[in-house]
Structure 1
């Protein structure tokens, strides 16, 4: 048969016609010469029709019908040539991808899974970076760091503040339960190795600000619980982040530190009969980092978490996502050159995505006062687990963990008059990014709905920690004696590289050439915050 001798599937139809005509003419001439008499074109065509019918001309020749023939819709079939925006041309043979298409799609899958691993791995990498940052400062599990002189911009912590006294440490239950003796009057939380909420301590915790003895255990702990333990708390991970804030009265830093240090203790339950002396490390003015990487190192941080923690500490779907890029418990993370290059690309895209979600959110629900103000919320869905009608809102989780530390229901909806609430903005009233070269003002209407105090702080658009300026506090709060109210009781605060004349006491310094984020905190928020009858102003550009 002719189709057995000629592969015409990819031949242009017009060219094929010319070739057939030439071939038929030559064939007729040879037959005429052989038979010594002319032969008609019709005779030759009659001979060739069965062969021509079987030719796969340009892919349109009818295939032999199957006895059990289906009628597949076009939607389930794949064309031989597929054009895409991201990958260009993808080619197939009857649904079978070519080698070039296979390579393109695997590269795309590996990059996209790397991006997802970055975005969904931020909570774990963030906890890891904080705990490792403490170890770098010689604060081991069982020790605690305390900012006795408050925190300032020299210490890199995601959106921390300089108005309360932070106490931070690691509670590690790998070798057994840990006892925590919590002092009264503090506000704090314990989160696990994936930044999931474990418990509150202090004012919004089970002890309701009275202090008490907590016991932190793994789910499989079946030992005795001492009678003197007030609260038993279970955590699915070995490493846990403990942090709480002490509130300063009348500017008495030393008194606040002493009150905390005289009560707080943490030690293994196995040593409860003779606890070791508690070690405190003053972290004020330390140049230290507790923020996860935004380059390839991020995946190494994530791998360290997976290797250390129990295999069942995380969601299987999440572990599958990490395993798809080579991060698998019990196995070395050693990507080849191709994979390392793709993961380097992935983290670049993932970092850009996290910054877009954080600084240019496209969801209306993120805004506290939609269409009225630029202030956004870290918990737009009113869920510390980022749930909304059964779904986990991934962008909400990314926004929170890229910017904030400390997951707690009390941050979502604290009791009226207790806890704290937040509003953040990276933009002025016109929707433009805040720039350190410019001067802005913001007015907080009277009365500001707080039971305790309010604060405004500025953070770097790069590392999301306190903005590095010549001002130690990177912000101001209502306890500061320099802050003055307007005649009507409202407060107008100023942001800029230089203090505006006559408003020096209400001025927060920014740096030329640097972006920044402004954050409003209300400690002990009152009802007008929750029902939104109180609305803070936007940052207005001062010409």
Structure 2
């Protein structure tokens, strides 16, 4: 049935709604690239890191701005604009490290360390951006050809001895190839207690950060329609971002509504097979199929938005299919009754033995607003098998306790939560074993403790 055209005086309202809907969709689409662009800004502006430095996250306070950081192993990383640096040299020593390089859409360019081609033996890698040539006099190096011009290089040291891990980190070298004949010293820069946030910015700042990073990024063929939408909202390469009052209002509202959509898409996952066990409230946190973010006939837009709202970085090792290798991530966003987890309530979680992890396991608590480690007085957000004081039951299981005040059993297995703040949890298995993959091992749900 044909309907009449909208009245002429209603057209501004129709176009406002169109631009608002474009903005909501673009918010979800841009989450991974804005996340890395924001994090790079903090490295440069807050920490003073340069193109030949690495930021070393060690302490609990160091990681409070890092989305869903694990609280067990150190992180060492930095961000590089290959249009500014040219090809990048990475020298990695032999030893137990896990890391790699990814573009700013957080697609893995290549793994390094134990899960990479070097198998933990170390070596030199050259990272080359789109359109950049591989220098003739680097024939023996591994070459990674990045899918984007902006990249992240990062790794974790896996040695349980902190001194050994630090010694490994101090041997890593990174610098532009143009400086390879006389490379500057690679510094390990510490956050040193300075407040910072890798969380995607809110409101108009979200769009300003997106505008900034698209100025040096290459156009991916799969994103051309999205870039057309972005152009409609005043963001495009080679043009300043100067939204008028109308666009400022639309973009501010789109960021607010887009984030609500991102929260629902993350904490109430609708993806097929997201629930790991049918009778448990644990989801596969990493819902992406692969590093390319590609399904069989579509690109994983909402899957990507889900993971990169709650986390940063992806590698094939994080979704291991080989027993004893890589990692596994499960997320608990509700308790056993399907209710959001509240910081003012007490809960328990039973982790049955033996836990199928060749290296170690941990359970970590995160704030739903920041998606970062809970900033509690305890300054501890996780418990796991590397904690030598962990209390076990007679059958070998571990009962973890969560709540705002210490339980009667003591603080050994307790993670402090904050009244008025909601939280969620990750279970990480490092070197997951067959009982995890065949689901014969089943963890309990997070259960309310009756008041």
Q: TM-score range by the shorter chain?
A: over 0.9
Given the two structures, how large is their TM-score scaled by the length of structure 1? 0.79
Residue 158 of structure 2 corresponds to 247
Deviation at 1:434, TM superposition (A): 0.5
Residues 1:221 and 1:381: Cα distance change in structure 2 (over 3 Å): closer
Q: Deviations over 1:187-242 (max 9, x none)?
A: 11211122222111111112112211110012323343445643100113332111
Structure 1 moving runs of 4+ over 4 Å: 311-314
State the superposition RMSD in angstroms: 1.9
From 179, 194, 211, the equivalent of 1:286 is: 194
Secondary structure of the residue aligned to 2:82 is: coil
CA contact (8 A) 2:202 2:255 kept: yes
Query: In the alignment, does 2:34 pair up with 1:125?
Result: yes
Deviation at 1:312, TM superposition (A): 5.4
1:523-538 paired onto structure 2 within 5 Å: 523-538=430-445
Residue 112 of structure 2 corresponds to 201
Q: Deviations over 1:468-524 (max 9, x none)?
A: 101223111211112122111111111111222224211111111211111111111
Residues 1:531 and 1:284: Cα distance change in structure 2 (over 3 Å): farther
Residue 392 of structure 2 corresponds to 485
Instruction: Report the Cα distance in structure 2 between the residues aligned to 1:229 and 1:512, rounded to whole angstroms.
Output: 56
Query: In the alignment, does 2:223 pair up with 1:315?
Result: yes
Secondary structure of the residue aligned to 2:100 is: strand
CA contact (8 A) 2:81 2:149 kept: yes
Residue 180 of structure 1 corresponds to 90
Instruction: Report the Cα distance in structure 2 between the residues aligned to 1:417 and 1:222, rounded to whole angstroms.
Output: 38
Instruction: Report the Cα distance in structure 2 between the residues aligned to 1:378 and 1:144, rounded to whole angstroms.
Output: 28
Unmatched runs of 5 consecutive residues or more in structure 2: none
Residue 55 of structure 2 corresponds to 145
Residue 259 of structure 2 corresponds to 351
Instruction: Report the Cα distance in structure 1 between the residues aligned to 2:232 and 2:28, rounded to whole angstroms.
Output: 15
CA contact (8 A) 1:140 1:170 kept: no
Deviation at 1:313, TM superposition (A): 8.4
Residue 238 of structure 1 corresponds to 149
- Using CA pairs under 8 Å that are at least 6 residues apart, name the structure with larger relative contact order, 1 or 2: 2
From 401, 418, 422, the equivalent of 1:494 is: 401
Secondary structure of the residue aligned to 2:273 is: helix
Aligned residues: 447
Secondary structure of the residue aligned to 1:103 is: helix
For the pair shown, which has the larger CA radius of gyration, 1 or 2? 1
CA contact (8 A) 1:172 1:178 kept: no
Q: Deviations over 1:157-194 (max 9, x none)?
A: 11002100110112332232111011331011211122
CA contact (8 A) 1:119 1:350 kept: yes
CA contact (8 A) 1:153 1:468 kept: no
Instruction: Report the Cα distance in structure 2 between the residues aligned to 1:477 and 1:533, rounded to whole angstroms.
Output: 21
Residue 36 of structure 1 corresponds to none
Instruction: Report the Cα distance in structure 1 between the residues aligned to 2:217 and 2:432, rounded to whole angstroms.
Output: 37
Residues 1:264 and 1:153: Cα distance change in structure 2 (over 3 Å): closer
Residue 329 of structure 2 corresponds to 422
Given the two structures, how large is their TM-score scaled by the length of structure 2? 0.94
Instruction: Report the Cα distance in structure 2 between the residues aligned to 1:314 and 1:225, rounded to whole angstroms.
Output: 32
CA contact (8 A) 1:444 1:490 kept: yes
Deviation at 1:343, TM superposition (A): 1.2
Residue 444 of structure 1 corresponds to 351
Q: Deviations over 1:24-58 (max 9, x none)?
A: xxxxxxxxxxxxxxxxxxxxxxxxxxxxxxxxxxx
Residues 1:279 and 1:240: Cα distance change in structure 2 (over 3 Å): same
Query: In the alignment, does 2:85 pair up with 1:161?
Result: no
Residues 1:227 and 1:305: Cα distance change in structure 2 (over 3 Å): closer
Query: In the alignment, does 2:11 pair up with 1:98?
Result: no
Instruction: Report the Cα distance in structure 2 between the residues aligned to 1:126 and 1:254, rounded to whole angstroms.
Output: 31
CA contact (8 A) 1:143 1:280 kept: yes
